Amino acid sequence: MNSLWRRLPPINGSADGDLCSFRDRMSEAPFRPREKLVEHQKIFQNIHKHTYLKGRYDRITSVGIPIALAASSLFLIGRGIYNMSHGIGMKE
């Protein structure tokens, strides 16, 4: 007989000790009730936006951060061009 299978005491009022695996006995309750999960899924399935913009903070991570990085890089490039054209920061 497999070491994971053994005769265990009755579960949930069953008449006889059933053959159950250790994994079946040690399962835990889900983190969220199924009804709440279905409600949450319906909210996201009914939104007609792109997949990467459906969450609450997705606009910050998918739009805001790339725009901030692009703006800062353009500023630094512009400042470098200005400094080179005016001879600022040259080593003698």
Token pair for 53: 């913009």
Task: Supply φ then ψ for residue 73, to 5 degrees.
Answer: -70, -40
- Percent of the chain, pLDDT > 70? 63
- pLDDT tens figures, 61-92: 888 999 999 999 999 999 999 999 999 988 87
For 44, the enclosing helix (H) or strand (E) is helix 34-46
- Quickly state the pLDDT bin for 12 (edges 50, 70, 90): low
pTM of the model: 0.46
